[in-house]
């Protein structure tokens, strides 16, 4: 089924953007896991809408309600079901879009796939709002990975439009320093001047009734060597399966044809002089920082008038999309991307 993923831990998502709630089920979590609900909510807050001028004005608290599989502060081992209620629906914004296919959206393909019965309001089940359950599961996975393996996951905005952040040497980077620098930034970049220019690019796009895309760089540190398998269950295949499940992603994992030269350091530990392959070789982690980049396309919902079709009246029409939309989705995508890495690693490492 398209809304279920995983083997060791089955992850199912449900809901629509303008339905009463969205949520999911995690089946296979180990019993006895303590869940830090404050940390989970902090991760949810990073993704939720309506926090600054760069995101949609839709206001959602994104409070997670756990319905089962959690007792006295710990997982029971039975399916953990949770919901996130939708509180700020304005479905009237979409009344005129039932038959008018928004360019760049899944309106037409969703209409075909579900024979016209799909909930089209705000994209329905195709909406980026459905990434909120990803972040919940990702927060659970991050806790497990940190407590059992010391794995740290952090991300940054690598570029917005044609403005790029500084190049980062992942091999010499201190993950704790990166976390300290980036985790509390609402707009996490390494170079402040680059961040200022990126914000201007977003403002310019919004003022032109348009939108802009960008690139997220995600980094995982202290990942054991030997995680993953060749070919179909390669570590990059597992991660990319999740990454391409996130709406608006249009890029694969980072890498190149360059070889990473290995050597032994003074303490006899195997090291590498470069990390062009992003910490994965032959589908298996090599002990170096796991790094990938994801490109996000510009938000397709824009106020600028566009040409489209009215499938009810069978005619060409002009469309100006109303409602509340992100001029750039990248800042809110960071915790979603991190969650994809955490979920993929948990799938590989959970016993």
Report whether 131 contacts 44 (CB < 8 A): no
What six digits make up the tokens of 181? 């620098």
Tell me how far apart the alpha carbons of residues 11 and 81 are, in angstroms, rounded to a whole number: 10
Task: Detail the residues annotated as belonging to a binding site for FMN.
Answer: 125-127, 282, 297-301, 324
Q: Are 223 and 315 in contact (CB under 8 A)?
A: no
Per 3-state DSSP, the chain is made up of helix, strand and coil in percentages (nearest 5) of 30, 25, 45
Residues annotated in a binding site: 47, 53, 125-127, 282, 297-301, 324
Q: What are phi and psi of 215, to 5 degrees?
A: -125, 135
The neighbour count for residue 217, using CB atoms within 10 Å, is 21
Handedness of CA 26, 29, 32, 35 (dihedral sign): negative
Q: Which residues contact 87 (CB under 8 A, 6 or more apart)?
A: 59, 60, 61
Within 10 angstroms of residue 28's Cβ, the number of other Cβ atoms is 16
Q: Which segments are annotated as binding site for NADP(+)?
A: 47, 53
DSSP 157-216: EEEETTEEPPP--TTT--HHHHHHHHTT-SS--S-HHHHHHHHHHHHHHHHTT----EEE
């Amino acid at each position: 089924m398209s809304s279920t993923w995983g083997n060791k831990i089955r992850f199912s998502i449900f809901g629509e953007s303008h339905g009463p709630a969205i949520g999911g089920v995690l089946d296979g979590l180990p019993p006895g896991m303590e869940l830090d609900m404050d940390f989970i909510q902090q991760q949810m807050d990073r993704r939720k809408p309506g926090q600054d001028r760069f995101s949609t004005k839709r206001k959602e608290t994104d409070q997670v309600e756990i319905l089962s599989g959690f007792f006295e502060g710990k997982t029971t081992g039975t399916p953990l079901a949770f919901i996130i209620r939708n509180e700020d629906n304005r479905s009237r914004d979409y009344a005129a879009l039932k038959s008018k296919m928004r360019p760049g959206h899944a309106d037409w393909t969703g209409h075909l796939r579900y024979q016209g019965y799909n909930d089209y309001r705000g994209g329905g089940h195709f909406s980026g709002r459905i990434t909120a359950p990803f972040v919940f599961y990702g927060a659970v996975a991050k806790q497990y990975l940190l407590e059992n393996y010391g794995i740290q996951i952090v991300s940054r905005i690598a570029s917005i439009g044609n403005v790029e952040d500084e190049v980062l040497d992942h091999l010499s980077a201190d993950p704790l320093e990166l976390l300290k620098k980036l985790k509390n930034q609402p707009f996490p970049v390494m170079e402040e001047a680059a961040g200022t220019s990126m914000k201007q690019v977003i403002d310019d796009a919004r003022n032109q009734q348009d939108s802009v895309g960008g690139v997220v760089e995600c980094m995982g540190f202290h990942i054991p060597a030997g995680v993953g398998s060749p070919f179909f269950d390669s570590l990059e295949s597992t991660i990319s399966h999740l990454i391409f499940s996130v709406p608006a992603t249009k890029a694969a994992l980072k890498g190149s044809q360059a070889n990473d030269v290995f050597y032994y350091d003074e303490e006899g530990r195997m090291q590498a002089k470069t990390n062009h392959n992003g910490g994965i070789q032959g589908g298996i982690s090599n002990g170096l920082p796991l790094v990938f980049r994801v490109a996000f396309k510009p938000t397709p919902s824009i106020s600028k008038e566009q040409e489209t079709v009215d499938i009810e009246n069978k005619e060409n029409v002009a469309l100006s999309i109303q409602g509340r939309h992100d001029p750039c989705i990248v800042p809110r995508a960071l915790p979603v991307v991190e969650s994809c890495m955490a979920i993929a690693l948990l799938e590989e490492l959970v016993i």
